[in-house]
Amino acid sequence: MKSTGEPGTVGENGERFTGHGSEWRPTQLSPTEAQLATSWVEQKIDRRSMLTSKDRVQDVRDAMWELEKDGQIVVHRITDAHKPRMAKTLYGWDKKIPTNQLWHHKSCGQCGNIPGYPVSLLWLQNKLGISYLDETDQTSCTAWNYHGSGIGNIESLAAVFLRNFHQAYVSAKALGLDPGHFYPLVHCGTSFGNYKEVRQYLLLSSKLRESVTKILGKLGRLVDGKLLIPEEVVHYSEWLHVMRRDVQNHQVLDCSNIRATIHPACHVYKMVPQDVIYDDEVLDGNRVAVSTGIVQALGANVIDYKTWYDCCGFGFRHIISEREFTRSFAIDRKIKVAVQEAKSDVMIGHDTGCITTLDKNQWISKAKGGAGYELPVMADCQFAALVCGADPYRIVQTHWHASPIEQLLEKLGVDWQAKKADFEAYVEGIKQGATPEQLYDPRLRITSGPGFQPIRREVIPPPPAE
């Protein structure tokens, strides 16, 4: 088999194989024609262009409040106890971001591929004294099912969304607290975009609400016989953005000599764009504020580059069926441009799939025997934790990343060799039976779904040292 310039793989007999199906055919475009056909991806789609000649869309929260007033749904409100901060979205609407009493909606891809991603976020919240619950009783979102395979349906998307947010609502029962005490904070950008779309469908379709009410009723996931709808769907990067000044107060490393490029996730700012945060303090309010805002607040130099608006190449469907395309796109459209044009020291993102794609596919740039392109890639919360003094191995867990990180650490003034040796000694100690460090009381991870019966929890002391 060999790869060609067209999607798919060619066998020895010239037969072309593609994971996208027989309807996909080579375009036979010349390089000039191909450039013209794809030139739209380099067009400016900043806030001003998105507001020009566009129909103003409905704020579905208006429909939400009407449905609650009519007794059809229950809204999980963000209260004063959640210490909300206000942010402005595309049309200047207010979005309420809870900053305390948070329920972590984890990401399967982060926990499996980039564990330093969620760990850095929890570390920052510990640093800031944030109250949160990091329990185990959640399911994955339906992203792989829907975006990856196309076999999902809207009822399943809605049921999973509301099931997880209902769990966030009732989770405090395990601690003897009232429902709604914790508010969900979504880690995964795809879940975030997907959930916002599904919430809109639910609020505008009585038929969908009726179908999903039957499903959740069987699961015991209704509140007073009604669907529970979140007042806001909130991504962790939005929390980090509104808390950026608080994070800055804990900064210990100088990153003023760091050239950072930002990769905004499609699922974060292109899905339901009217809900996305734009801040006049960040790039004149013309691009999504998350990630850029925290990196600028910490003093790094955010460098623009011509493919800022491009997808990372992940795309869900073709990461499965046309992985060569994903790898080539990630290198040619993002990493190569950031290295050559922006002279970037690090690329910062805010989504699981993006970080994984941009970080773990850089080896493909050496496929033709060239020197290749290498650029550290990490999430905004990882970078923030790092410059606030988090250990690059125990907390940020840079050893899970495929892209080289050492040069960035050196520019930040971190003795990575000493840190690495210390981490290796720590791991060896755990192998020998030492008690590992915990960011979070593991007893609190015990689930607390419908019908939860409190149980006596005992701390099991570690075995005595020999």
Residue pLDDT, tens place only, 130-183: 999 998 888 877 766 666 666 778 899 999 999 999 999 999 887 888 999 999
Amino acid at 263: H
Q: Please report the pLDDT score of residue 49 as a whole number.
A: 64
Q: What are phi and psi of 17, to 5 degrees?
A: -110, 135
Query: What architecture is the 253-427 domain classified under in CATH?
Result: 3-Layer(aba) Sandwich (3.40)
Range of weakest confidence among 94-103, 141-150, 301-310, 446-455: 446-455
Q: What is the mean pLDDT of residues 397-413?
A: 95
* Nearest-angstrom CA–CA distance, 139 and 160: 8
The pLDDT confidence band at residue 291, using thresholds 50, 70 and 90, is: very high
Q: Identify whether the C-beta of residue 199 lies closer than 8 Å to the C-beta of residue 241.
A: no
> In the chain, what are the domain boundaries?
60-236, 253-427
Say which residue, 230 or 7, is predicted with more confidence: 230
HSE of 6, CA atoms in CB hemisphere, 13 A = 14
Q: Please report the pLDDT score of residue 311 as a whole number.
A: 86
Residues for the chain: how many in total? 466
Taking only the tens place, the pLDDT of each residue in 1-52 is: 333 444 444 455 555 545 555 655 677 888 888 777 766 556 666 666 666 5
Q: Identify whether the C-beta of residue 295 lies closer than 8 Å to the C-beta of residue 302.
A: yes
What does R_g of the chain's alpha carbons equal in angstroms?
23
Which CATH code is given to the segment(s) 60-236?
1.20.1050
Task: Determine the Cα angle at 259 with ends 242 and 42, to 5°.
Answer: 80
Q: Please report the pLDDT score of residue 36 as a whole number.
A: 77
- Sheet containing 301-302: give its strands across: 301-302, 259-262, 346-349, 377-379
User: In 3D, which of 466, 459, 455, 451 has the Cα closest to residue 220?
Assistant: 451
* Nearest-angstrom CA–CA distance, 48 and 52: 6
Q: What are phi and psi of 277, to 5 degrees?
A: -80, 125
Q: What is the pTM of this model?
A: 0.87
Taking only the tens place, the pLDDT of each residue in 86-133 is: 999 988 999 999 999 999 998 887 787 889 999 999 999 999 999 999
Q: Please report the pLDDT score of residue 309 as a whole number.
A: 86
Tell me the C-alpha to C-alpha distance, in Å, between residue 348 and each of 41, 209, 273, 342, 445.
20, 38, 20, 13, 30
Q: What are phi and psi of 235, to 5 degrees?
A: -95, 150
- Sheet containing 9-10: give its strands across: 2-3, 9-10, 16-17
User: In 3D, which of 190, 296, 287 has the Cα closest to residue 241?
Assistant: 296
User: In 3D, which of 310, 282, 314 has the Cα closest to residue 380?
Assistant: 282
Tell me the C-alpha to C-alpha distance, in Å, between residue 189 and each of 57, 76, 395.
22, 21, 21
* Nearest-angstrom CA–CA distance, 244 and 248: 6
* Nearest-angstrom CA–CA distance, 428 and 433: 9
Q: What is the mean pLDDT of residues 252-277?
A: 92
Round the average pLDDT of the chain to a whole number and report it: 86
Q: Please report the pLDDT score of residue 60 as a whole number.
A: 93
* Nearest-angstrom CA–CA distance, 109 and 115: 9
Say which residue, 58 or 133, is predicted with more confidence: 133
Task: Determine the Cα angle at 450 with ends 449 and 455, to 5°.
Answer: 65
Structure tokens at 256: 């003023």
Residue 271 has pLDDT above 80, yes or no: yes
- 3-state helix, strand, coil split of the chain in percent (to 5) is 45, 10, 45
Helix residue ranges per DSSP H, 114-243: 116-127, 143, 154-170, 189-204, 206-219, 236-242
343 exposed, middle or buried (CB, 10 Å; 0-12, 13-18, 19+)?
Answer: exposed
Task: Determine the Cα angle at 329 with ends 370 and 354, to 5°.
Answer: 115
Q: Across the strands, what pairs with 74?
A: 228
